[in-house]
Amino acid sequence: MNLTDEKIKVLESRAEKIRESIIEMLVEAGSGHTAGPLGMADIFTLLYFHALRHDPHNPEWRERDRLVLSNGHICPVLYATMAHAGYFPISELKTLRKFGSRLQGHPHREFMTYLETSSGPLGEGMGQAIGMALADRIDFGDNTDRFIYCLTGDGELNEGINWESIMLAGKEKLRNLIVIVDRNNIQIDGYTEDIMPLDSLTKKFHAFNWHVEEVDGHNFEMVNSAIDICKAVYEKPSVIIARTIPGKGVKEFERDYHWHGKPPTKEEGDMALRELRTLGGKITSEHQ
């Protein structure tokens, strides 16, 4: 589905509001992950406000697309996006990681039933998504028009279980499976290519019989076009390797792996919010 200039303007504005919510909830919680959620805000915005077939007022709608967040530690972006999309009040975001909150430090379906899965242990989401795609084939046949999306991190691909899952999906030719890899080149211990080199991811997925798209993860048109292309592939599963900037939107956080697993302080959060709001104002003026 094509994006108009007006729709891109709306998506950019929503993404900045979601980034602001991520900062606010992390400061309030005093714990959590910063870089990945900020880096993935554009992709989650595109999914929930354009690409996904879903209904916040009927979250268990049988014909909905399903989204599996495998790298559950970036859940602040999932929670913030779902709140802005109308699944629950935005004010609830301030309860992140607090006792009794539905918004646990990793997504927990027992507390929030309209999540598709619980996640935390890295490497499991790919297998869960493949199970859902196989189940849909059984229920609906090869012509199902529902898609299973799996979001995973590049550092997470160090987990060997992922490659067993990737091999199975290629063997089964799961055309209704779209994996999006957050290729931000960081993990908690440093830069991915220093710890366990991953490139060339494109060649690796091709070797396992996958269709591959590589995109700028902050370019709405590119990501949207890649999703449309993946939906038109009928003989194999698809992966979108989205190159993102960890900490996107806050220059002091960007590309610094130290922000992978820590939250901003109150002072750092205030600085980040000022920067994001300045950027938001710039985006608005550029489109006027």
Residues 34-68: pLDDT tens digits?
999 999 999 999 999 999 999 999 999 999 999 99
The pLDDT of residue 120? 83
The CA distances from residue 81 to 40, 90, 109, 195, in Å, are 10, 9, 17, 31
For residue 262, give both structure tokens.
């820590």
The pLDDT of residue 113? 86
The CA distances from residue 176 to 27, 50, 132, in Å, are 38, 18, 10
Distance CA 41, CA 62 (A): 26
Position 284 pLDDT exceeds 60: no
Average pLDDT, the chain: 94
Distance CA 48, CA 225 (A): 16
* Beta strands in 72-113, from DSSP E residues, in sequence order: none
Distance CA 86, CA 55 (A): 9
Domains of the chain from N-terminus onward: 5-287 (3.40.50.970)
The pLDDT of residue 286? 57
Place of tokens 């000022």: 274
The CA distances from residue 171 to 19, 68, 164, in Å, are 38, 21, 11
Q: What is the pLDDT of residues 109-167, one digit of tens each?
A: 999 988 999 998 899 999 999 999 999 999 888 778 899 999 999 999 999 999 999 99
Q: What is the pLDDT of residues 215-247, one digit of tens each?
A: 999 999 999 999 999 999 999 999 999 999 999
